[in-house]
Amino acid sequence: MRKFMTTTAIALAMMAGAAQAAENVEVLHWWTSGGEAAALDVLKKDLESKGISWTDMPVAGGGGTEAMTVLRARVTAGNAPTAVQMLGFDIIDWAKEGALGNLDEVASKEGWDKVVPTALQQFSKYDGHWIAAPVNVHSTNWMWINKAALDKAGGKEPQNWEELVALLDNFKAQGIMPVAHGGQPWQDATIFDAVVLSLGNDFYKAAFIDLDPAALGGDKMKEAFDRMTKLRSYVDDNFSGRDWNLASAMVIEDKAGVQFMGDWAKGEFLKAGKKPGTDFVCMRFPGTQGSVTFNSDQFAMFKVSDDKVPAQMAMASAIESPTFQSAFNVVKGSVPARTDVPDTDFDDCGKKGIKDLAEANANGSLYGSMAHGHANPASVKNAIYDVVTRQFNGELSSEEAVTELVAAVEGAK
């Protein structure tokens, strides 16, 4: 009898182990830098504590373009991952193809509608149904300044374009590279996003959200390109192809004065042991104070076989848990995708990010980022990328770029 019980116990244990092994999520993402990997580990460990194993599928490339290429091949082959990190209109495009699963059950049970900002729900839902779980809100119009270099320059944070140029000239005089930048289209566009926003909220909305030809082709847009030409003069000659986190490292290692980059850059500073206010300064791009351009990393859940759905739902629930939202975003540099998460555990930059987001949301100055796929579909975004990068690299004059921008956007609509 004892032998039978032992055999039965072993069999039951094996069955339980097999069931647990079946609780697995395969996750395609592009969080491969040190700070990003540390943040992702928070989610992995959270799921592992719930008995769900994690199959990692990282695809390097900060803007996610390479990841989307890999995803297309997987879906075409009929082998979609469980969950995929995605941005903005890419999520809607996949939803239109009927490729995404339905998260309504968990979203309804946990009341996501009440706590996820409406601006994010525009990308988390399709045809009234939840199709993705937002992990965070990143804002993109940030500057990350080396504190020692800023102190040598007098310690004043630049409040307008003229003060920014004066600061960059001072960095050059100090013998460090004024601007740390990586020459990739999405990085060029990230700077351009901030430059256009600095010329006025109405201008940004008209140009990048409404795609108004008069705004795209007017004098203000020429001024924006002129400012890009000026900023290009502060970048080193070896910037082409440099990944964004390597540009962050230049500021961290006292080799450069400032980086214009979204708040994911903060994760790199924190991972390097740097402290806001002591080693680096976070501030909005001059002229954009009070306004926020955002993107939101979300995990879109693809249609999978029925046996994989429970793990998928558990992952979605874990992502939206307030405890996870705080723990993850503290490490990532972003702010929570829920409005009910306290800022207690966040550093000064995080608290500022949460406050700025709330104010911009209340004031109607919260805009989806053109550079990060939250203002227009990928076809339009990529058309703008092309013109911006060509102009930044000196292939087009400001006048030519304005003309090309109008034509490129019109052709991509």
Give per-residue pLDDT as tens, 153-178. Answer: 999 999 999 999 999 999 999 999 99
Token pair 């008209």 in the structure block, residue:
206
Q: What is the pLDDT of residue 23?
A: 87
Judge whether residue 18 has pLDDT over 60. no
Percentage of residues of the chain with pLDDT beyond 90: 82
For residues 283 and 318, membership in a common domain is answered with: no
Q: Do 378 and 275 share a domain, yes or no?
A: yes
Considering the domain architecture, whether residues 113 and 243 belong to the same structural domain is answered as: no
pLDDT at 39: 87
Of the two residues 199 and 20, the one the predictor is more confident about is 199
**147 and 270 inside one domain:** yes
Q: What pLDDT does 119 receive?
A: 85
* Domain match, 149 and 164 both: yes
Q: How confident is the model at residue 265 (pLDDT cuts 50, 70, 90)?
A: very high
> What's the confidence (pLDDT) of residue 14?
32
pLDDT given for residue 273 in this prediction: 96
Show which of 322, 352, 382 is a domain's final residue.
352
Distance in angstroms (rounded) separating the CA atoms of residues 92 and 95: 5
**Average of per-residue pLDDT across 237-257:** 97
> Which pTM does this prediction carry?
0.85
Q: Using CB atoms within 10 A of its CB, is residue 2 exposed (0-12), middle (13-18) or buried (19+)?
A: exposed
Number of domains comprising the chain: 2
**Statement to judge: residues 106 and 247 lie in one domain:** no
Lowest mean pLDDT among 131-135, 142-146, 198-202, 306-310: 306-310
User: 5 lies in a domain?
Assistant: no
E strands in 240-341:
256-260, 280-284, 292-295, 297-301
The pLDDT value given to residue 117? 86
Which CATH number covers residue 401? 3.40.190.10
Answer yes or no: is pLDDT of 204 > 90.
Answer: yes
Alpha-carbon torsion, ordered 235, 227, 224, 155, to 10 deg: 90
Domain enclosing residue 299, as ranges: 24-138+295-352
Min mean pLDDT across 7-11, 233-237, 308-312 is at 7-11
- Decide if 3 is inside a domain: no
Tell whether 13 is covered by a domain.
no
- Name the phi and psi angles at 234, rounded to 5: -105, 5
Cα(408)–Cα(404) distance, integer angstroms: 6
Instruction: Check whether 12 has a pLDDT greater than 50.
Output: no
pLDDT of residue 65: 83
Mean pLDDT of 355-367: 89
pLDDT at 60: 87
Give yes or no: residues 262 and 281 share one domain.
Answer: yes
Instruction: Give the residue from 303, 325, 352 where a domain finishes.
Output: 352
In a domain, 363, yes or no: no
Q: How many residues does the chain have?
A: 413
So what's the pLDDT on residue 10? 36
Q: Could you tell me if residue 194 is inside a domain?
A: yes
Average pLDDT over every residue of 232-244? 96
- SS3 label, residue 323: helix
Q: Do 390 and 402 share a structural domain?
A: yes
N- to C-terminal Cα distance for the chain? 75
Asked whether the beta carbons of 256 and 148 are under 8 A apart, the reply is no
Q: Is residue 279 part of a domain?
A: yes
Enter the tokens of residue 247: 């540009």
- Structural domain includes residue 273: yes
Q: Give per-residue pLDDT as tens, 104-141.
A: 999 999 999 999 988 899 999 999 999 999 999 999 99
In the chain, % of residues over pLDDT 70: 94
CA dihedral 233, 236, 240, 246 (to 10 degrees): -130
Looking at the fold, whether 202 and 115 belong to one and the same domain comes out as no
198 and 386 in contact (C-beta within 8 Å)? no
Residue 206: both structure tokens together? 């008209």
CB 247 within 8 A of CB 182: yes
Q: Say yes or no: 134 and 170 in one domain.
A: no
Residue 361 lies in a domain: no
* pLDDT for residue 7: 38
Q: Are residues 128 and 274 in the same domain?
A: no
pLDDT at 16: 35
Residue 21 has pLDDT above 50, yes or no: no
Mean pLDDT of the chain: 92
131 and 149 fall within a common domain: no
Give me the pLDDT at residue 201, please. 97
